[in-house]
Amino acid sequence: MASLPFTVSGLQTSSTGGRSSPTLLCTPLMGTTVDQMLIEMQKAKEIGSDVVEIRLDCLRNFNPRPDLEFLVKQSPLPTLVTYRPVWEGGQYEGDETKRQDALRLAMELGADYIDVELEVAPDFNSSIYGKKPENFKVIVSSHNFHNTPSAEAIGNLVARIQATGADIVKIATTALDITDCARIFQIMVHSQVPTIGIVMGERGLISRLLSPKFGGYLTYGALEAGAISAPGQPTAKDLLDLYNFRFIRPDTKVYGIIGKPVGHSKSPLLFNAAFKSVGLNAVYVHFLVDDVKKFFDTYSTIDWAGCSCTIPHKEAALRCMNEIDPIAKKIGAINNIVRRPDGTLTAFNTDYIGAISAIEDGLRGLNGTHPAVGSPLAGKLFVVLGAGGAGKSLAYGAAQKGARVVVANRTFERAKELADKVGGQAMTLAEVDNFHPEEGMVLANTTSVGMKPKIDEAPISKQSLKHYCLVFDAIYTPKETRLLREARETGAVIVYGTEMLIRQGFEQYKNFTGLPAPEDLFRQLMEKHA
Q: Provide the annotated active-site residues.
A: 143, 170, 314, 351
Cβ–Cβ < 8 Å for 26, 51:
yes
- Is the torsion defined by CA of 522, 523, 528, 530 positive or negative? positive
Question: How far is it, in rounded angstroms, from Cα 530 to Cα 526?
Answer: 5
- DSSP annotation of 403 reads P
- Is the torsion defined by CA of 249, 250, 251, 255 positive or negative? positive
312 preceded by cis ω (within 30°)?
yes
What is the Cα gyration radius of the chain?
Answer: 27
- DSSP annotation of 242 reads I
Question: How far is it, in rounded angstroms, from Cα 147 to Cα 264?
Answer: 25
Q: What is the helix (H) or strand (E) element at residue 142, kind and residue range? A: strand 137-143
Taking CB atoms within 8 Å and a gap of at least 24, the contacts of 292-295 are: 292/258, 292/316, 292/317, 292/320, 293/319, 293/320, 294/177, 294/179, 295/178, 295/179, 295/258
Taken as a whole, the chain contains a residue count of 530
Q: For the chain, what is the largest distance between any 2 Cα atoms, rounded to a whole number of angstroms?
A: 88
Instruction: Reduce the DSSP state of residue 352 to 3 states and report it.
Output: helix
CB within 8 Å of 455: residues ≥ 6 apart: 478, 481, 482
Q: What is the separation, in whole angstroms, between the first and last Cα of the chain?
A: 40
Buried b (16+ CB within 10 A) or exposed e, 348-369: bbbbbbbbbbbbbbbbeeeeee
Helix, strand, coil percentages (3-state) for the chain, rounded to 5, are: 40, 20, 40
Helix segments in 255-339, DSSP class H: 267-277, 292-298, 326-331
Torsion angle (degrees, nearest 10) of CA 150, 165, 25, 271: 30
At 69, the amino acid letter reads E
